[in-house]
Chain A
Amino acid sequence: MHKIKTAMLGLLLCGALPATAGTLADIQQKDELTCGVSEGTPGFSNPDASGRWVGLDVDICRAVSAAVLGDQEKIKFVPLASKQKIVALAAGQVDMTSRTTTWTMKRDTKEGVDFTAIVYYDGQGFMVNKALGLTSAKELDGASVCVTTGTTTELNLADFARANGINIEAVVFEGKKEAFNSYKQGRCDAFTTDMSQLASWRSTLPNSDDHVILKDVISKEPLSPLVRHGDNQWKDAVTWVINGLIEAEEKGVTQANVDQLASSSQDPTIQRMLGVSGDMGGYIGLDQDWLKRAIAAVGNYGEIYDRNLGENTRLKLDRGINSLWSQGGLFYSPPIR
């Protein structure tokens, strides 16, 4: 509530000020990238024990910062509540938002923002107590479901109930923590959010085996970082950093071997990516080493995934549809040439 008022004030203030030059030039001039993240979503954006922001969404920001400013630490992370994430970006409070945001037509066209490239394919699911003996979400007729406000999640829940002719009492909370806590206390029969999140929330329960995640995925949630509408150069820069990270995984360029490949690889694609030949960086207003720096900072997409969501993390999320196209997944970068 309070933050929304701040955002509103920001919107008004920015309304009162004249528009500035390109975002990219602004960032380089102030030597800092302002990146909107979540208030704490394990695996995507969450401060670690020492207060450093970590997660897949955070690493995208770090890669952009490394490419644009040459240093992955030159970032100011701004935690945004769900309903602020678009308003704050459109108002110019942040340069980019990387915050598990679903790419929808309305948001892309009517809310003053542009989506860049998909970094995670998610879908909405339900967690229920095992004792209820449910096998499908369609059996939730008459149930109370805890959900967060200002998200597509809330709408999907209403759509799902309508489509299946069932009655669901939505108990809507401002934050995911509050929503989940109420579920934990037994206020709701089910807790709903994106599948990627359910696993991590479940892992925080002391008796996690008593809770199951239903198989039904009731929505498509392509998550993508977003930038302000109308600055094509900046949008291109962010989009191609993400594409570059995906291409790097396909080409086997990793954090460990990026320097060595830059000096020795004979593969023309790798040479173009790492600035040995061609002028790829120039196309997006950056220098030749843009992608090399990004990979050196956070690794390729596969490394980012494994570090934040993979087998060795608390979330243990199977790559599934988030694999490269060559391995049966959906990740496919347009060629860098």
Chain B
Amino acid sequence: MLNKLTASAGSSRFRLDLVLQAVFLALIFYLAYSVFHNTQVNLENRGIESGFEFLDKEAGLPIGDALISYTPTDSYGWAFFTAVVNTLYVAFFAIILATVVGVMIGIARVSRNWLVCRMAAIYVETLRNVPLLLTLIFIYVVVLSSLPGARSSWLLTEGILLNIRGFYFPKPLPQDGFGLVLFSVALAVVLCWGFRRWAKRYTERTGQELASFRISLVLLLGLPALTYLLTGQPLLWENPELKGFNYRGGLSLRPEFLALLLGLVLYTAAFIGENVRSGIQSVAKGQIEAAQALGLKPGKVMMRVILPQALRVIIPATTNDYTSLVKNSSLAVAIGYPDMVSVGGTIIGQNGQAIEIIGMWMAVYMAINLLISAFMNWLNARVQMVER
């Protein structure tokens, strides 16, 4: 009897939970629906257009610095896409450079060299405790006020120059036969990969180390260089030339892009540096002492013993910093780089359809960051597997 009672009480509690959850879910759906519905009605009452038809219409707005081909006669949709590519462009390079700088800062933070250690600490504390917006504006103003005008550019070497309008360098113009060079690059990469695998097994079998780094380098540089010479140097260069107000031709990086890149890299590197430091410090001291006792050089200790174990701590934290970096790139508008928030803002100004554009911003940022998280989780899983 008693048993039966408890059982039925248990199942009714179970049912009550379910009911509560269902009610809560229904409430959320109802709220979401009523917000959506009322917004629709009110937009209609005020005669505000809604929907995404405007994406096909001619944009008419200028984008000064576009990675892909864009003219004002293109559609709003293409203008937005151009700006998304700009966002990806700056975020991609910022993530790579921030990682490189961050790892160096992190290693410097645990250095036994007093000066190196202090400098890294000052760097981290300064960058981490100043709002990124201020850092960006500061860098932009410093960049602008330190660079010379177009007519008095700093000529680094023939075709490479720096002035207030940007960093200019020659544009490669591939000729017939350049495909072969590209092919040889791919071949070198494949060969190199195969060699590294073989060399690893060789070392495991014999205990002897090959100079695999040097051999790979020779392979990666030598093979393409040889092909390039044999095919008769199938590459011409177009140098930037001063015409009228600005240099034209060649390739260039605008000061807005450079300032944004620099700001994002320096800021995020401070955080990544801290991740690296905590990762390194999480590795048991005994591990390091054991490696040293085996006679490994300091560089090898770092690369082979400390970092692989530290990565398990570093990667999850760094995933957050990568996604923050992507979101922070939206500050571009303050210093005139046409990222998707800047261009989207213009589209809102022209079009008045704020909800649609904000929805698109959210969707794109979310997609980028989910992809980054997915990749980093995959990487993390791989690193975890190494654990023995």
Contacts and interface: CB of A to CB of B under 8 A. Distances in A.
Given A19-B42, A155-B61, A182-B336, A172 B244 contact: no
A185 B164 contact: yes
A149 B165 contact: no
A15 B44 CA distance: 11
Interface residues of A, number: 60
A330 interface: no
B47 A229 contact: yes
The binding surface of chain B is classed by DSSP as helix
Interface size class of B (residues with CB under 8 A): 35 or more
A178 B334 contact: yes
Nearest to B334: A174
9 contacts: A15-B40, A107-B352, A149-B349, A151-B349, A169-B64, A174-B333, A178-B336, A181-B141, A229-B47
Given A16-B35, A182-B144, A186-B144, A144 B352 contact: no
Contacts of B98: none
A142 B345 contact: no
Given A83-B345, A171-B256, A230 B47 contact: yes
A18 B38 CA distance: 8
A159 B47 CA distance: 27
A205 B208 CA distance: 71
Given A158-B72, A187-B255, A83 B346 contact: yes
A216 interface: no
Contact of A87 (B45, B348, B350): B348
Given A110-B47, A149-B345, A172-B342, 5 more contacts: A19-B45, A111-B49, A143-B245, A178-B336, A186-B164
5 closest residue pairs by CB, A with B: A150-B349, A111-B352, A15-B39, A112-B46, A170-B62
Contact of B355 (A8, A82, A111, A159): A8
B358 A4 contact: yes
Nearest to B350: A155
Interface of B: 34-35, 38-40, 42-43, 45-49, 60-65, 72-73, 141, 144-145, 149, 164-165, 243-246, 248, 254-256, 330-331, 333-336, 338, 341-342, 345-346, 348-352, 354-355, 358
B259 to A, nearest CB: 11
A150 B348 contact: yes
Nearest to B359: A8
Interface string A7-21: 110011011111100
B164 A90 contact: no
A186 B149 contact: yes
Given A158-B61, A172-B64, A12 B39 contact: yes
Contact of B336 (A4, A143, A161, A173): A173
Contacts of A261: none
Contacts of B47: 109-110, 112, 229-230
B243 A150 contact: no
Contacts of A189: 245-246
A242 interface: no
Contacts of A178: 334-336
B349 A144 contact: no
A87 B256 CA distance: 28
A1 B73 contact: no
Contacts of A83: 345-346, 348-349
A157 interface: yes
A17 B243 CA distance: 58
Residue among B35, B342, B352 with max Cβ neighbours from chain A (10 Å): B352
A229 B144 contact: no
